[in-house]
């Protein structure tokens, strides 16, 4: 049963974590979101540190506090990023607190980061009136113009170049480009999750939290379920 001192320490530590999170949001706001792409890798770490030590039950109020501070100190675009990254930190830290398999934990963080990346793109696109279909059509038109320009530089049109161009146009359909866009968002989201995982473990080791040493990338294998 937690003592009064441990409860006081957890409350104090939670307030400090929320303050650090708010400081990052204010710094991002004052710089005009200049460092937002960098902060995406840092936003989960305060929540990871807290939930890894105190578990998910005590971390829920801290997570709620982070959500509130996001609305108070964050920009319109950073609110969704901050909340989603704090949730990833909560899930990651809880997994560390329960001493779960590190490989499964890594996969969980990568999947959550990929989902957050896709959802953030869809949500922000709908809020700002960003038409993904129109952008894909513009992308296809730009690729067509680039191919025509490349053909002109290589000496004009010939049967072989014309066949190559027709083959490329048959492949680069709007549906194909949309799939490639989603795949790229998933890939970069998973890569972001991997970086968050490694950074969090490095910082937790500095805080003398008992975690396993990060494995080299070549040693990661899917878990046996």
pTM for the model: 0.76
Model confidence band, residue 205 (pLDDT cutoffs 50, 70, 90): confident
**How does the average pLDDT of the chain come out, rounded?**
79
Nearest-angstrom CA–CA distance, 84 and 67: 9
Nearest-angstrom CA–CA distance, 147 and 144: 5
* 42 φ, ψ (degrees, to nearest 5): -105, -30
Mind giving me the DSSP string for the chain?
A: ---HHHHHHHHHHHHHHHHHHHHHHHHHHHTTTTTHHHHTTTTHHHHHHHHHHHHHHHHHHHHHHHHHHHHHHS-HHHHHHHHHHHHHHHHHHHHHHTT--HHHHHHHHHHHHHHHHHHHHHHHHHHTT--HHHHHHHHHHHHHHHHHHHHHHTTS--HHHHHHHHHHHHHS-HHHHHHHHHHHHHHHHHHHHHHHHHHHHHHHHHTT---PPPPPGGG------
HSE, side-chain direction, 13 A CA sphere, residue 22:
17
Model confidence band, residue 204 (pLDDT cutoffs 50, 70, 90): confident
Nearest-angstrom CA–CA distance, 109 and 71: 24
pLDDT tens readout for residues 103-150: 888 889 999 999 988 888 777 777 666 666 666 666 666 666 666 666
Please state the domain extents for the chain. 4-127+193-219
pLDDT tens readout for residues 28-84: 888 877 777 777 788 888 899 899 888 888 899 999 999 999 888 887 778 888 889
Structure tokens at 152: 């002109």
Q: Which residue has the tokens 């890569």?
A: 191
Structure tokens at 87: 């949730």
Structure tokens at 102: 């590190």
Q: Which residue has the tokens 């040693």?
A: 219
């Amino acid at each position: 049963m937690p003592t009064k001192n441990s409860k006081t320490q957890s409350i104090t530590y939670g307030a400090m974590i929320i303050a650090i999170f708010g400081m990052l949001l204010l710094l991002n706001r004052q710089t005009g979101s200049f460092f937002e792409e960098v902060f995406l890798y840092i936003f989960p770490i305060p929540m990871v540190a807290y939930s890894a030590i105190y578990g998910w039950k005590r971390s829920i109020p801290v997570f709620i506090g982070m959500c509130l501070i996001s609305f108070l100190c964050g920009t319109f675009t950073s609110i969704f990023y901050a909340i989603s990254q704090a949730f990833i930190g909560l899930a990651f830290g809880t997994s560390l607190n329960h001493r779960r398999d590190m490989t499964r934990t890594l996969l969980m963080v990568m999947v959550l980061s990929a989902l957050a990346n896709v959802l953030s793109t869809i949500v922000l696109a709908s809020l700002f009136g960003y038409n993904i279909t129109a952008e894909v059509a513009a992308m296809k038109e730009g690729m067509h113009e680039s191919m025509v320009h490349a053909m002109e530089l290589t000496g004009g049109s010939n049967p072989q170049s014309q066949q190559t161009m027709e083959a490329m146009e048959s492949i680069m359909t709007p549906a194909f480009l949309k799939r490639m866009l989603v795949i790229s968002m998933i890939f970069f989201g998973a890569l972001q999750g991997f970086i968050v995982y490694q950074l969090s473990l490095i910082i937790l080791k500095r805080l003398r939290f008992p975690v396993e040493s990060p494995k080299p990338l070549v040693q990661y294998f899917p878990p046996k379920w």
